[in-house]
Structure 1
């Protein structure tokens, strides 16, 4: 028969313990016994139901105070300067905290720190099909940072993974609508800008809380099987650009020289014109001053003009006249010096090489002596 069957039985294990009829132990009695034992250890005397009971109340209070202090200190946390904290209360978003020392309810609040200032990088690469049905390997890298911590954490499951997929989609879309020559050579900047714009359009509806800082076009190359042919094509295009630049530089250098040469010739022509006009005016002035002298003494003036003319003629010739009559001495003449001096005088009196020199004609102006003779004959 079980000890707890109805009826009179004394088989309860909590009764007759130690030969006495007693019930299960009480919590207060356990605490009192513990207090008595502790008091006995420290030499204190206890009375029944008095000091033991007060000691148990004090112990519970001390434990409660210690627990509260530990709980209070466990709620302090720090948000770094470059971060923002998202506070979740029972799993629900309740606010954002700024950098500094903060406090939260332990086991109630949860804080998620988010880096807001660091610039992050994300690469993307792969073989892609172009518009002209060629395969090209493109490598691109973007730089981004977080601008909205709440959207970055709660808008999608993983904002970084969503951005990665969006980048791959934008890159393949742009490369698929471009030609291979543009991707490999002159259209790289256009491809970069197009990928940036397309990526912004893709991530805008998802509100990822991210902003694209920069897009870098790292490399674009054809498959290894056709790499040599494309290298030759690129080298030819670069040579074409170089030759065009050299031609433009030559044109910019030779054109100012030609203009300067033309300007110099114009200035020399104007100077020669002025010289001829001034010489003519001088001859006229000389004739006007000589005419009264000739009218006053025609013979003397004629002889003077003849002698001056002959002196001018003989000074420009290489002939030397020597009178050796009545002498036996050998005369040394520095003919080389005389000829050299005559050549120097001839070059000095001749006009510039580019100015045409006309031969005197029947209609040319007469010399001073001829004009004087005709004037004198007219008077006679």
Structure 2
């Protein structure tokens, strides 16, 4: 049985030059036309349809690429500028050469200038990495490096203060154990900046997280050596802040983190929320006790000062008595009697030849009392015939 030709005819009826004598149904030529219209043979799939009716020929490789290329549709559509596509051509230089090399060179020059020139601010520094490895540090000002990707520049602000709040949320409790086995809720701020940019960028993986952990460890160590009352007082807080700063700096320097700790400020130091009411009652009682103790100390100091003054006066009198004992005794006797008799209105007379003492102070006192009393109004009754 004859095989079917993929180009339209039987393999048994095809000739060596590509023509065929007829079909199996009566010898009609392929395609439905007559033999006089076009030569017999299978249609070449590489030749486009709708030719001018001329004799068929074998398609060459040049014809295939011409028909498939950008010029083929325009040629078939009727010439340049037709609906087959735009007629775009790159402009040429006066000498007939292309502008592409010039454009590429200009782009490369701009790229080199942009990626190799760096303006670093007055508070900034930059680290330079050559093919991914650290090579040097650039100071502030206009600096030059090799273009990207040979050298990359990473700029950082080394003078700016970077605050860290611990804990990050103000509503979150940070309970720390004190030296007298009490809990205190602390929140504080750590301020730091960059001391060594190379260490900051390449010695630790996450510098900010390292600062947070060092601050928390230093604060717990400092509070563990302090009693609860000292954490609430101003002097105790100042001592804790200084201790935490020194501990943090020593720890970060041992890591080579390149961080300078500028200061630590305790914002809040309160008892835990669960026992805040009882703690306030204890504080009130302690304040009352302190007030009572201060009052007792003041009274004791007053009595002591008075006793010391009397002792010093007695010492002075004793010194005078040692110089003239008889005179001193008489003087003390007269002063004592004068002080005693000045407070009484009675006089005792022992002999008959002494004139009795007239109690003038008593008379004066009674006269003054009678003058201040108002007499009652008198009522006169008149009877008839008298």
**TM-score after normalising by structure 1:** 0.52
Q: Does 1:99 align with 2:140?
A: yes
- Structure 1: segments with no counterpart, 5+ residues: 20-31, 40-50, 281-315, 321-333, 341-380
Q: Does 1:261 align with 2:310?
A: yes
Q: Alignment partner of 2:209: what SS? A: helix
Q: Does 1:142 align with 2:213?
A: no
Q: Is the 8 A contact 2:174 2:187 kept in 1?
A: no
How many Å separate the matches in 2 of 1:64 and 1:207? 45
Q: How does 1:38-117 map to 2 (within 5 A)?
A: 51-53=95-97, 56=98, 60-61=101-102, 64=105, 67-68=108-109, 71-72=112-113, 75-107=116-148, 108-117=150-159
Q: How does 1:152-163 map to 2 (within 5 A)?
A: 152-163=200-211
Shift of the alpha carbon at 1:165?
A: 2.5
**Structure 1 match to 2:166:** 124
**Please, what is the CA RMSD of the aligned residues?**
4.8
Aligned equivalent of 1:12, options 62, 70, 91: 62
How many Å separate the matches in 1 of 2:191 and 2:354? 91
CA 1:279–1:193 in 2, change beyond 3 Å: closer, same or farther?
closer
CA 1:34–1:279 in 2, change beyond 3 Å: closer, same or farther?
closer
Shift of the alpha carbon at 1:98?
A: 1.3
Q: Alignment partner of 2:257: what SS? A: coil
How many Å separate the matches in 2 of 1:154 and 1:82? 20
- Structure 2: segments with no counterpart, 5+ residues: 1-43, 47-57, 76-88, 168-172, 330-352, 365-386
Shift of the alpha carbon at 1:127?
A: 4.2
Q: Alignment partner of 1:64: what SS? A: helix
CA 1:253–1:213 in 2, change beyond 3 Å: closer, same or farther?
farther
How many Å separate the matches in 2 of 1:204 and 1:246? 51
Q: Is the 8 A contact 2:175 2:272 kept in 1?
A: no
How many Å separate the matches in 1 of 2:175 and 2:272? 11
CA 1:197–1:61 in 2, change beyond 3 Å: closer, same or farther?
closer
Q: Alignment partner of 1:52: what SS? A: coil
Shift of the alpha carbon at 1:158?
A: 1.4
Q: Alignment partner of 2:146: what SS? A: coil
Deviations 1:168-219 (A, max 9, x none): 3444566567776665679656655664555456444422111323333332
Deviations 1:295-330 (A, max 9, x none): xxxxxxxxxxxxxxxxxxxxx96469xxxxxxxxxx
CA 1:269–1:104 in 2, change beyond 3 Å: closer, same or farther?
same
Aligned equivalent of 1:164, options 212, 215, 229: 212
More helix by share: 1
How many Å separate the matches in 2 of 1:114 and 1:231? 48
Q: Is the 8 A contact 1:130 1:178 kept in 2?
A: no
Shift of the alpha carbon at 1:245?
A: 4.3
How many Å separate the matches in 1 of 2:291 and 2:157? 48
* Number of matched pairs: 260
How many Å separate the matches in 1 of 2:359 and 2:208? 103
**TM-score after normalising by structure 2:** 0.51
Q: Alignment partner of 2:61: what SS? A: coil
